[in-house]
Structure 1
């Protein structure tokens, strides 16, 4: 069996083992994009128990929490250990114009998807413009204009 020794990797492994219990929540990588009248957030959470995922909204703050428990950690001698367990946390400040009451989430194949719809009041809409003549009479003709 060929062995490859990297002193920096070994130092990193030892340091992470020493300080593992002091680490706080880990950040999860995510993408955020707009698709039509919704925003879609996708976050990578491989190996997470779906029951540990918590998505909540408090005012304009969206919080995602999850927990990864590593299996087989008791009574084994690790050769290499690059996957970390523990808590994952991500918080996003939501802007005005989003419908926080209709946010939905799903978890599939290690990816959490959160759909955040745009509120009805923030969507573009037509505003009728009434034409008034110089004598103060209103004509039945209406013009339309877009407002956003």
Structure 2
């Protein structure tokens, strides 16, 4: 049941047989930060792309070969993993940076500055 909840409704958001990637998102005044759980994944095998206002992550974890030690019980997920998220308005995806540490991929994308306070608009006459 937990696996079904984690993967969502089949076919609704992604291709069948593709596992979802768990994420955290944070938006500050100047950045959008996405953290993705990718334990056991080589960061060189992660594809990150921005198309329009959509950030997409893709990777794959292959099962161990027959010559490697196998366990009698495994709850690990193997196969393709993907996640697509809509970026905040104005996010500058072409300036994104990505860091991988301890099984967590952190993507940071700058946002345009938002001006706060009062703006006075002069009235022209004449």
Per the alignment, residue 42 of structure 1 pairs with 35
Matching of residue 74 in structure 1 with residue 66 in structure 2: yes
Residues of 2 paired with 1:127 and 1:27: CA distance? 44
- Select 2:96's aligned residue among 93, 103, 106: 103
Q: More helix by proportion, 1 or 2?
A: 1
**Which one scores higher on RCO, CA 8 angstroms, separation ≥ 6?**
2
Give the TM-score normalised by structure 2.
Answer: 0.72
Q: More strand by proportion, 1 or 2?
A: 1
Matching of residue 124 in structure 1 with residue 115 in structure 2: yes
The secondary structure found in structure 1 opposite 2:75 is coil
**Is this contact kept in 2: 1:54–1:65, CA < 8 A?**
yes
**Is this contact kept in 2: 1:104–1:116, CA < 8 A?**
yes
Residues of 1 paired with 2:71 and 2:104: CA distance? 27
- Greater Rg by CA: 1
How many residue pairs end up in the alignment? Answer: 109
The secondary structure found in structure 2 opposite 1:26 is strand
5+ residue gaps in structure 2? 1-15
The secondary structure found in structure 2 opposite 1:83 is coil
